[in-house]
Each structure stands twice: as C-alpha cells, then as structure tokens.
A and B are shown apart, each in its own frame.
Chain A
Amino acid sequence: MSDYKAIMIGGSAGSFQVVSHIIAALPANYPLPILMCLHRLKHIRSGFVEALSIKSKLPIIEPHDKEPLKPGRIYLAPANYHMYIELGNRFALSTEDVINHSRPSIDLSFFSASYNFKKKLVGIILSGANKDGAMGLKSVTDNGGLTIVQDPKECQVPTMTQASLNATKVDYVFSTKQIIDFLLKLA
C-alpha cells in the first residue's frame, strides 16, 4: 500500500469517457478515496452521479458540506458549488464566485486538497477546453504531491492538459490505460 491519502481528478470537455473507463477499472475494494472535480452544467443537479455509477463498483457520492471523507469511495463535486477539503478531512462546499467561468472550479479543489494532503496527494488532469486546473496542478507539485496529465495527443480537447504542462513540471504524461495501471498499482 502506498503512502498516498487521496487521488484528485480534474476534467472538462472530453473527460467523461476517460473518467468512465478509469472508474470501471477500479475494484470494489479500492482503498483510496477518489475526488473528482469535473466541469458540469450549473443548473442540472441530478443525473451525473447516476451516469457515472453505471459501471462503477465503488459508491459515487456528491458530498454534502462538512461530510467526513472516507476511503474506498468516489466523490464528485456537486453542481454549482466549489468543493474543498478541510484539515480534519471533511468536505467544505462554497458558493463563492465562479473561477475560470466554472463552479465547481478545478483549481480551487486542487488548491485545498494539496494544502490538506501535501505530498500525499496524486493529482490528475484530463481532457478539457479551459485552463482551469493548470494552477491547481501546479499547487500539487509545489506541495510535493505526484502529478499526472492525460497525454494531450489522446485528449478530445487538449487545452487543459497543455495548460497544465505549461504551468508546472509534471511527473507523468499518461494515456488512459497507463493512468488506470498506475492507479491499480497504488492500491
């Protein structure tokens, strides 16, 4: 078992399929919590968890504010809230202004998770048409965590991954399959 405490994934346009593949590959006893901040329509509150749950063996949850974070679960940032991790491993949600046109903002989720988990966080940025997530991934690097970017050549929309590669030195540039292999080895 690795020293990592959590995995955070950020994605936007073109990331749904990648996330679905990753989730489908994880076994029911996968021990690390997976925190996902994916851009989504602000006014549509339901349906996303259900769509992602179809192939998942792990429970997928949109956390309530102050909900304690537990291992072996996949958490999805709810519509129209920013999602933070507080010291003491509870979720905190926020209605602060949109960042990079987004609420939830990937940057803000990564900032708080890297502040909380420091070097024990794995940060992953997937396909997306926005630069949100790039500064967040940099904060993972700056706090000593491990960083992965989906190979821009494989991304449906490479803007977000390219912006991340420009913003920080990342540990790995991986295909979807390599991301899955890596996550399975962490368990």
Chain B
Amino acid sequence: MVDNIGIVDTRNIISAIAEKFGIDMSDYASTILRRRLVHTINAYTCHSADDFIDKVKRGAIDVDDFLYEMAVETTEIFRDPSLWRELRDRYLPEVCRTPDCQIWMPGITTGDELYTLEIVLAESGLQNKAKVVAGCPSNKHIENIKDGGLYDPKKIEVSEANYTRYVGKSQFNSYYTMVDNHAKMKNELLANATIYQKDILKTEANKQYRMIIYRNTLLQFNIPLYEKVIRKLTESLAIGGYLIIGNMETLEYSETGKKMQVVNENEKIYKKRID
C-alpha cells in the first residue's frame, strides 16, 4: 500500500504516461493529481511509484482503465439543489425555447450530474426540447452510466435528501431500482443523451451549445490548463448561452473568462454576451 508520493515520483509518472499513452498531465492541480496517482498505484496493487511506472512501460496497464481510475469519481445526484431549482425555474425553459437546443456536459464521470439534469428536464416536460451531449474520460465510465450507475445506499440517501430540498415533482425512488443493495438509475432517462469519450481540448468548438454544465472539474487543473479549457468552453457556447461551474469555482483568474457575464453569483451561472 502506497500512502504518498513525492514530486520526483510524480514527475516520473507524468512522463511515463505521456510517453506511453500520449496523455499530458503536467498541468493538473498537484494535490489532486498526487492523490489520484496514489489511488491508481494502489488500484493496480503496485508497491511503489517505480513499480507502477514499470507496469506502464511494459504495457501492462490499459489506457481506458487508467483514465477510469484517475478520474475524481464522487459527487452527489442533485448536489446544490438551489442551482437545479434555478435552472428549472429560469434558465432551462429559456434555452429549450431555442431551435435545436443542445446542452453540453463535457466532464462527467459517475453520471450524477447527467441524471440530475435529465430528471429536471423530464419533470419540466423539456426532455424532447433539448439534446444532451455528455463527455466522459473513459469508455468504462460510459458503460457504467448507461448501466444506471451503481450507487451505494449511503450515496442514495444523500441524493434523496438533496432531491427533497430541490422540491421535485415525483418521488426520488421512482428514478431507480434496487439491485443487490445498490441503486441503478433508470436509463430511459437518458433517451435524449449522447455520451462520448474524448478529452475536452480535442473536441470541436463552434458555438453549438446553448448551455454548458461543467461543475467542479476546473478544480483539477492548474492555471494554464484552466485557461485553455475555459477558452474551449466559451468557444463552444452560443452567444446568449449559459455556462455553469461549481459554486466555489470562478472564471475570475482566466483572461477568456473575464469576457463572460456573471448572471448568478451564488450558483456561478455565466452568460456569453460577446465572442
């Protein structure tokens, strides 16, 4: 069991990953990166950073599995109920009135945010008014999401409490079935969703989205990468469209982000006014 890794180990792993998989992790926020690397080293039962590097170099680690282990897995369904109420009452009806409305969620892992959005759209009668396009770091994430996720009882309890605070129209337990003491979300909720696997920086950006929900994912980047990702997000957003980030994230430290107008400071909803 590896408890921690130092700067040198981290650098060596980053360069082995870049060489073998062509994935550049050098601009990831250092604390989260080190913690995810420690998790991943242990997930492959390696006894040291060097042991892990050796496995990478020998081709004993599958890139999709690696990306799956590295992703920050956790959040909650209906995390921040006040945001989802705001989207339900104001912003989703507005964007869904535009023809061919597409909503982008480029950074999902567990599907919590995707299932939340789909429940909000379904309860508002808007599921056929918008297409949802969701990006995952690995194919394994996509399989899990399409399979309804597998939520342990504790996580469902937290999500259920969030849904109660959101004040939905239904019962939260009508959206999942229990299988082996775990909850599987009903995947018919995803009828209007397309889920793909691609690095956000490699996606096409041509102002195609009316709304982008990208919460708590900028946390994983240091400033240069954060800037690049924000540029991609804003270039992908239609003029008049909305970008939503995590409530303790900000666009303030990004030159590109400064062009966005804050329309709700508490929930971090930004509007694109100009190119």
- A3, CB-defined interface residue at 8 Å: no
Contact between B248 and A97 (Cβ–Cβ < 8 Å)? no
Give A52-66 interface residues, CB cut-off 8 Å to B: 62-66
CA distance A153 to B75 in the complex (A): 38
Contact status of A86 and B74, CB under 8 A, knowing A65-B249, A93-B248: no
The contact string, 1 if C-beta is below 8 Å from chain B, for chain A 15-58, is 00000000000000000000000000011010000000000000
Q: Mostly helix, strand, loop or mixed at chain A's interface?
A: loop
Instruction: Using known A-B contacts A45-B247, A94-B72, A97-B74, determine if residue A65 contacts B219 with beta carbons closer than 8 Å.
Output: yes
A78 to B31, Cβ gap below 8 A?
Answer: no
Whether A95 is near chain B, meaning CB under 8 Å from some CB there, is yes
Interface pair B72/A66, CB less than 8 Å apart: no
A42–B162 CA distance with the chains assembled, in angstroms: 11
What is the bound-complex CA distance between A86 and B35, given in angstroms? 13
A78 — which chain B residues lie within 8 A by C-beta?
Answer: 248
Closest to B221 in A: A66
- A95 pairs with B35, CB closer than 8 A: no
| 13 A–B pairs (Cβ distance < 8 Å), ordered by A | A45-B247, A64-B252, A66-B226, A67-B250, A80-B79, A81-B248, A84-B32, A87-B30, A92-B31, A94-B35, A97-B73, A97-B74, A98-B74
The 6 closest A-B pairs by CB, nearest first: A84-B31, A97-B74, A64-B250, A95-B216, A112-B31, A78-B248
- Asked whether, in the complex, the Cβ of B161 is within 8 Å of the Cβ of A95, the reply is no
Q: Given A45, A67, A92, A97, which contacts B32 in the complex, CB threshold below 8 Å? A: A92
- CB contacts under 8 Å to B, within A76-108, are 78, 80-81, 84, 86-87, 92-98
- Chain A residue numbers with a CB within 8 Å of B247 are 45
Q: Digit string of B51-94 for contact with A (CB within 8 Å is 1, else 0)?
A: 00000000000000000000011110001110000000000000
Q: Mark B97-115, 1 if CB is under 8 A from A, else 0.
A: 0000000000000000000
Tell me, in angstroms, the Cα distance from A67 to B226 when the chains sit together: 13
Q: Is the CB of A95 within 8 A of B74?
A: yes
- Cβ of B137 < 8 Å from any Cβ of A? no
